[in-house]
Structures are given as C-alpha cells and as structure tokens.
Structure 1
Amino acid sequence: MTSDNHSRHRELQQDARAWADFTGTSYTAALRQVKSPLAQGLLGDRVSARHLIATLDEHELIGARGGAPRLGENGTFSTIPWRFNGRSDLIELALITDMLRMFAPIPDSATPEVSSYSLKHTAEEFLSPHCSYVSNGRMIWAAAALGLPIVDLEGSELNVLIGVLEREHDYVRRMVERGRIRPKAHHHRPAGYAYLRTALARAAAGEWITAGWTRRAPAAVSAPFHDWLIRQAGRDDVIGDLADDYTAGVRDSDHRVARTPDEMLGIFYEVSHSPEAYDAVVSAIAEWMMTVPTAKPVRTPRIGESVQDHSGWGAGAGTVERYEYRCPCGDGAIVEEHDNIPGFRDRDVSILCAKCSAEWRFAGGRSLSGWGLEPVSVTR
C-alpha cells in the first residue's frame, strides 16, 4: 500500500469511528457509508464526518460551543433531536453538500436570500431517488459545514437564509419540482448542474469518478444591447415598458439575454406578443442605433434556400440561387437572389413584407450579400 493510499485509508477509518460514536451506530455500518461512491465528493473533496461533527459545536451561528445544541433535525432551536438510521445519514449529508456546491456563492457584500426550508425541498427533488427526504436541519448543517454564508431568518426560529444565488436556486427549483413551469432560457443554470446530474447516476451505479470538477470563472460576454435596454427600465414610455418586461423575463428565465438587436427580434419570434410590443422593439432598436453610431445593422436568420438549374439565354447554362430570411416582424421574408447565368448575371435583395417594407430599410455601404437592416426612423 502506498503512502497516499495508507493515509486515505486511515482517514476513512477515523471518519467511520467518529461517525459511529456520534450516531450510535456500528463501526462497520459507518465505514460502509464513508466508503460509498455517493459520498466520494462529486463536486469537491469528500465530506469529512469529523468536520461535520465539529461544525455542530464550533460554527459561529449554529454551533453549540459547549452549550445546549443550537441545531436540530427541524432547524435552529429545534426540539426534535437528530434521527440517524445508521445506513445513509452520512451519504445524504454528502449529497446535500454536493448540491449546495453546485450553486455559485453570493458576493461578499451580498446578504443571503434563499430560505433553508425552500432549499430543502429543492434538494429532495434534485437528489431523488438517491436521497428522498432532506430535513431542514440537515440542509443548514451541510451549508454551515461547507462555509456558506448563513443568517437568521427574521420571524422564524427554525429556518435560516443561506448564501447561494437566488436566481440559480429558482432555476433549479423550477427544473425539478413537479407542477412548476420550467425555465425557457438557461443563463441562470448553475455551472455544476449538468455535471452533478450525470455524476449522481454514475456514483449510484458504483463508479468512482477520478476526474474532478472545477468551477470555471464566468466568461466575460459582451452584451451591449442588453446592457443599454435594462438601463431604460422605469422610463415612462413604450421603451420603458418594454425594458421592464424584458428585464423581468431575463430575471425569471422566461427568455434568453438579447446581446444584440438581432437576438431581441429572435426572442420575439419565440414568445407570444402583441403588435404594440413589437412596435416598441422597433422603437428601441432605432433609439439604440442612434445612441450607438457604431451599432451593426440587423441581420435576420435564414429560413430557406434553393438552387435551380437554368438552361440559359443562349450563352450557356447556369443556376439561380434564392435565399430567404425571416423579416423583422416574422410574417414575411427577405429574399436574396443570385442569377448565375452567362450573359445575364443579376443580384437582388428585397423585403417581401408590407409592414417591414414601411418600417425598415437596407443600411447603406454594404454589399448585397452582406445586407443589414435598420429602422427607417434612424438618422445618421
């Protein structure tokens, strides 16, 4: 046995003895839990039983510090003592800890917002069937052992607020709880969500996962139109109303972030909206383009294409290429045609939509294939 393996084996034995003494179970049963693949630490280091035990005494908020227990099965100041079954308690605490690791911690300057009671229910759904019940006390215990910020919840003697990002928790809760409307966009999905889902299944099948997960630093993504639009929230006009609705939709994962005007139109292709809301989008794009002179014209997605052979007009055969793009309002099309016929070569692009023809024009200074649109109200 190598030195590293011997050291790890001793740590497992020490954890098993400590857990057996703490829970009143046999050493063999405790060791079985310590060695379970589900307790190996799927999003971080293995959860130490000795550290969990020490947390109940030493933690600044929930620790007993040599006095009466501050935390019980139902939460802080709970009169319900811990109920240990001797088969899965440590495993379940390890799984709860991994679920909490999935979320990004809140910034140092922020105050925790997510209730331990709400998190407990999310954990039950997310970790099922590997962990069917999570008590409020165990959720608080795992959060404290992990070092997450914890504050007392005003007006509650059992629940606390835990420092995970509220938007990420809301995303997971809506993904896993039955009867909830699932998010339509995924910008609030926790970084470890997909990995932990897969790792849980692998560990449940008895697999030891040797390649650890590393939280990546969030990549800086330029979103100039989004940044501008959310700053318009609260304005007393149609653009302000649009910005209010858009900001709420991003917050609630009802649609994705519109980094550009093109993506804003893309959102409106996917969600139901009134004609007035679309008109507000056109007004917002026009104002954005006048505010940011370097803003690129709008380019809509391609929805069809065809290439047809043509016998020609006496100078040889050729082809006719036709490309269709969605028009800004979505009810018509922009058609780009290329006649590649010897002696009769022609190129054309046009808006085949009466509404968009009246509201949009092709931006100047661009090639036919590189066309882009801007609202007719834009003045350069």
Structure 2
Amino acid sequence: MTSNNHAQNRGLQKDARAWADFTGTTYNAALRQMGSPLAQGLLGERVSARRLIAALNDHELIGSRGGDPVLGENGFFSEAPWHFNGEIDFIELALITDMLRMFTPISDATTPEVNSYSLKHTAEGFLSPHCSYVSNGRLIWAAAALGLRIADPDGDGPNLLIGVSEREHDYVRRMVGPRQTQPHADHYRPVGYADLQTALAQAAAGKLITGRWIRPTLVVEAAPFHDWLILQAGRNDVVGDLARDYSAGVRDSDHRIARTPDELLAIFHEVSHSPGAYDAVVSTIAEWMRTVPSSAPIRTEPIGGVAHEHEGWGAGAGTVERYEYNNNAGSGMARSDTEAGSLGPLSGPQPRSRGLPPPRGGENRTSDLGRRPGETDRWQDRHRASGRPHEAAIRIPGTERTARDRHRGGM
C-alpha cells in the first residue's frame, strides 16, 4: 500500500468515526457509506464528513457556534430535527455537494439570488434516481460546507439564497424539471454539467472516477456585434425593439448568442417571428455596418449550383456556372450566373457580400423576434431584469474553455 492510499484510508476511517458519532449509527455502517462509489467525489475531491459536521457549528450564518442549532431538516430556523437512516444519508449529502460544484460560484461582490427551495427541486431532478428527495436543510448544509456564499433574504427562514449563477441554475432547472420548456441554446449550461452526468453514470455502475475534474479556465471571447446590440435595448425604435427581444432570448436561452451579423441572420431563420422582424434585422445590421465600417461583410448562404460547358460567344469555349443562395428575406432563393469564358472554370461560388435584400416596408415596425410556436398576438412571457450587468457563458466548440462577455441591456 502506498503512502497516499494509506492516508486516504486513514481519512475515510476518521470520517466514518465522526459520522457514526454524529448520526448515532455504527462505525461499519458509516464506513460503507464513505467507501461508496457515489461518495468518491465526482466533481473534485471526496466530500469530507468532518467538514460537513464542522459547518453546522462554525459557519457564520447557519452555524450554531456552540448554542442551539439554527439549521434543521426543513431549512433555516427550522425546528424539524435531522433524520439519518445510517445507509445513504452521507451519500446523499455527497451527491448534493457535487451537484452544487458544477455551477459557477458568484463573486464576493455579488449578492446571492438562487432560492434554496428552488435549488433543492433542481437537485432532485438532476440526481434522480440516486437521490430522489433533497430536503431544504440539506441543500443549505451542503452549500455551507462547500463554501458558497449564503444570504438570508428576510431573516425569517426557512429558505436562504445560495451563491451560484442564477442563469446557470435556470438552465439546469429547465433541463431537468417537470413540465419545463427546455433551453434551445447552451451558453448558460454549467461547465460541469456534462461531466457530472457522465461521472454519475459511471459511479452508479460501481466504477471509480480515475481522472480528477478541474474547473475549466475562463477566457474572454470577443463578441463586438452582440455587445453593441445589447446596448441598443434602451432605444424607442425598431432597432431597440429587436435588441430587447434578442436580449430576452439570450437571457432565456431561447436562442444562441449572435457574435456577428451573420449569426443574427441565422437566428432569424431558426426562431419564429412576425413579418416585420426581417425589416428590423436589416435595419439593425445596416446601422451596425455604418457604425463599424470595418465589420465583416454579410455572406449569403450558398445552397446549390450547377456548371456546364459552353462553346463561347467568339471569345473561346468556357464554363458557365450558376449558383443559388439562400434569400435572407425567407421567400425563395437568389441566383448568380457567372461566365468563365476562355479563362476556364471559376474556383467555386463567390459569396454575395453586404447584399441583404432591402427592407420590405410596411407599417408594422414591431420586430416580434422569437415568438413561441402557436403565438400570434402575444409576446413571449419573459422575465426582464433591470439593466444591471450580467454574464453570458459562451462555450467555444471543440475546447474545454468557457468564454464570458459582460453586457448590459433589458435582459
């Protein structure tokens, strides 16, 4: 046995004795829980039973500090005593801790926003069937032992506010909660979401997690068009109307982030919208191009093409090529005919740049970008917080990095 394994076994034994004394169970029963694959630490180090116990006494908010307990099974200031069955109570706390680890912790300068009672239901949905019930008190307990920021919103209990990303929690809640509309974009997916799902399945099968999970490094990914568009949300015109709808869609993960005008056009084709939305998109992109003359041109999407040989019109034989492009107005296609003449065939389709069809006109100046299917005269029911800064996590494809860009707007 290596010295490292010996130290780990000694740590398990100390935890088992402490847990047995705290819960009134036997040492062997506690040791079995400590050695469970589900308690091995799925996202990070193995959860320490001694640290959990210490949090109930020493924590600045939920610690008893040698007096009467202030945290119970039902939450803060709950008089309901803790219930321990001696079989899976520690395992459940370890799983709750790992579930909380997948979220991005908020900074010390940020006020916690996620209600513990809502978060406990999210934990139940994510961890089921391995932990189908999570009490409010145990969720708070695990968060305190993990070192997350915790705040008491009104001083009465039993619910507290937990310091994890509110946007990420909303994403997971909608993914696992019953009767929820699942997100259509992943920019708010927690960085540990997929890794925890994989590790949970492996541990449930009795396997050991060989590689230790390390939270990915956050890097900055430039998104100047997105930043500019968010700042237009306060305007009282068609561009501001589109910006507000776009901002709400990003916040609610109804669509992805448009880092370029091309991506905004792609979103336009992916979501439901009113006839006036296209005019708003054209006006917005045109203003962006006037504001940033060096911006990349809009590229219409090629969707097909043919080529055939021709004897020529006196200048020699050559190839005539015809390419078809997606019409961004959503009503057909655009064609481009080119002649290669005696110079031979062209190398490929030539993208049409800065060539958006003009706005179609009309009196409807409302963009209505992102209506849910079946809606006609009703906006999406979106919560729009005040214009405080917040973060959107942009996952960079093919890497383990996460980029964050700060923006303001009606989101």
Give me the TM-score of the superposition, normalised by structure 2: 0.82
Aligned partner of residue 232 in structure 1, secondary structure: helix
**TM superposition shift of 1:324:** 2.5
Contact map agreement 2:148 2:162 (CA 8 A) in 1: yes
State the match for 2:402 in structure 1: none
**Deviations for 1:201-243, whole angstroms, at most 9, x for unmatched residues?**
0010011011111111223212111100110111111111111
Aligned partner of residue 233 in structure 2, secondary structure: coil
Aligned partner of residue 323 in structure 1, secondary structure: strand
State the match for 1:248 in structure 2: 248
**Deviations for 1:25-56, whole angstroms, at most 9, x for unmatched residues?**
11111111100111111111100001100110
Point out which structure has higher relative CO (alpha carbons under 8 A, 6+ apart): 2
**TM superposition shift of 1:275:** 1.7
Contact map agreement 2:74 2:158 (CA 8 A) in 1: yes
**Deviations for 1:215-274, whole angstroms, at most 9, x for unmatched residues?**
112232121111001101111111111111111110110111111111111101011111
State the match for 1:372 in structure 2: 353
State the match for 1:333 in structure 2: 333
Contact map agreement 2:143 2:162 (CA 8 A) in 1: yes
State the match for 2:122 in structure 1: 122
Contact map agreement 2:318 2:342 (CA 8 A) in 1: no
1:155 and 1:277 map into 2 onto residues whose CA distance is 47
State the match for 1:24 in structure 2: 24
2:168 and 2:318 map into 1 onto residues whose CA distance is 56
Contact map agreement 1:305 1:321 (CA 8 A) in 2: no
- Unaligned regions of 5+ residues in structure 1, if any? 350-367
**Deviations for 1:328-368, whole angstroms, at most 9, x for unmatched residues?**
2222223344555x74858799xxxxxxxxxxxxxxxxxx8
Counting aligned pairs with the same residue, the percent is 65
**TM superposition shift of 1:104:** 0.3
Question: What is the letter of the counterpart of residue 195 of structure 2?
Answer: Y
Contact map agreement 1:285 1:375 (CA 8 A) in 2: no
2:186 and 2:357 map into 1 onto residues whose CA distance is 34
How many pairs align?
358
The answer to whether 1:228 aligns with 2:234 is: no
2:319 and 2:9 map into 1 onto residues whose CA distance is 73
Pairwise mapping of residues 1-380 of structure 1 onto structure 2 (< 5 A)? 1-154=1-154, 156-302=156-302, 304-308=303-307, 310=309, 321-339=321-339, 343=342, 369-374=350-355
**TM superposition shift of 1:173:** 0.2
Q: 1:306 to 1:371 in 2, by over 3 A?
A: closer
Question: What is the letter of the counterpart of residue 304 of structure 2?
Answer: E
Q: CA RMSD in A?
A: 2.4
1:186 and 1:124 map into 2 onto residues whose CA distance is 21
1:201 and 1:98 map into 2 onto residues whose CA distance is 13
1:264 and 1:229 map into 2 onto residues whose CA distance is 10
Contact map agreement 1:311 1:317 (CA 8 A) in 2: yes
Question: What is the letter of the counterpart of residue 256 of structure 1?
Answer: R
Aligned partner of residue 42 in structure 2, secondary structure: coil
1:107 and 1:163 map into 2 onto residues whose CA distance is 8
Contact map agreement 1:338 1:345 (CA 8 A) in 2: no
Contact map agreement 2:318 2:345 (CA 8 A) in 1: no
Q: 1:58 to 1:125 in 2, by over 3 A?
A: same
**TM superposition shift of 1:17:** 0.8
The structure with more radius of gyration:
1
Q: 1:322 to 1:91 in 2, by over 3 A?
A: farther
1:155 and 1:234 map into 2 onto residues whose CA distance is 36
2:330 and 2:143 map into 1 onto residues whose CA distance is 48
1:62 and 1:203 map into 2 onto residues whose CA distance is 31
Contact map agreement 1:297 1:372 (CA 8 A) in 2: yes
Question: What is the letter of the counterpart of residue 373 of structure 1?
Answer: R
Q: 1:318 to 1:94 in 2, by over 3 A?
A: farther
Aligned partner of residue 38 in structure 1, secondary structure: helix
- Unaligned regions of 5+ residues in structure 2, if any? 360-411
Contact map agreement 1:322 1:336 (CA 8 A) in 2: yes
**TM superposition shift of 1:156:** 4.1
